[in-house]
Amino acid sequence: MTNWEKNGFRKFASKKVSTLLVPFVIYSLIVLLLTPLYSDKTIGAHSWQIMMKGWEGMALWFVPVLFFSQVVCYYVLRWSLLNKYVALAAMMLVTYLYRDHVELPWTLYCIPYASSFVIIGALLKSALLTLQNASQGKAFSILTGCVILSLIAPLVSVVDMSCNKVYNFIPAYIGAIAGSFAVLLACMRLEKWRITTNWLQKCGQNTFIVVAFSQIIIMVINYNQILSPQYSFLKYVILVVALVVIAQIKKHVLKSYKEFRGDMI
């Protein structure tokens, strides 16, 4: 979780640039170079489209939004509790008023909506942490309730942040918060087992690989018709194997880079 109180703004922003924007640029360039493998577009045409509109529905679209949302919330989350709630209400109101009416490149129009979730997450952080030591029965009951709410919410609301579509947004908020709570509760329980802790850490360390390449790998398989329809389920096996291979390549590249820098120094 982000520590909003620890660093000054310059250090905070610098860290977010290095952990979000720099990897975003690197992985975006890699995905762009792979364009001929999953699309009829040329690399040049695809590059121009992305410069003008961003990644649109492709998974990387959310990274710049996350960066700017966290920068916006840096000061908000240092305000008093009352002002935090006022800011949250303002973000929600803006989200409600301008859905379908405001278009900005790089899906930046959903920054208020994303920022509202950052504020909600910070406000609920203490409540979530208290559940770390909750009894098995209590944790399971809350987890079950959150899962049910997150499954019901999509039935009465429509959310597509990449297209700035948020309808019946109160149920949408409830569903998103409940779903996030369910995932975090499950992770907190799973991390008590060493094998799952290691697995979760590996996933966390390779978040960008999962975000950048999961969708692309499936698109490559579909575009090139690598599998016949009856074996389409194998694409997900290929996906997992490919992600593991890419993660290992990344690990060795970073290791070589660190050794190279060490030799230079």
pTM for the whole structure: 0.79
Closest Cα partner for 149 from 168, 176, 183, 169?
176
Q: 108 with 68: CB under 8 angstroms?
A: yes
DSSP-derived 3-state class of residue 104? coil
Could you report the per-residue pLDDT of 10-27, keeping only the tens digit for each? 888 899 999 899 999 999
- Average pLDDT over every residue of 226-239: 83
Nearest to 126 by CA among 84, 170, 165, 176: 84
User: Cα separation of 180 and 196, whole Å?
Assistant: 19
As a whole number of angstroms, the distance between CA 98 and CA 166 comes to: 10
| pLDDT, tens only, 197-211 | 777 677 778 888 988
Distance between CA 34 and CA 15 in Å, rounded?
Answer: 28
- Please write the tens of the pLDDT for every residue from 67-103: 999 998 988 888 888 888 999 898 888 877 766 666 6
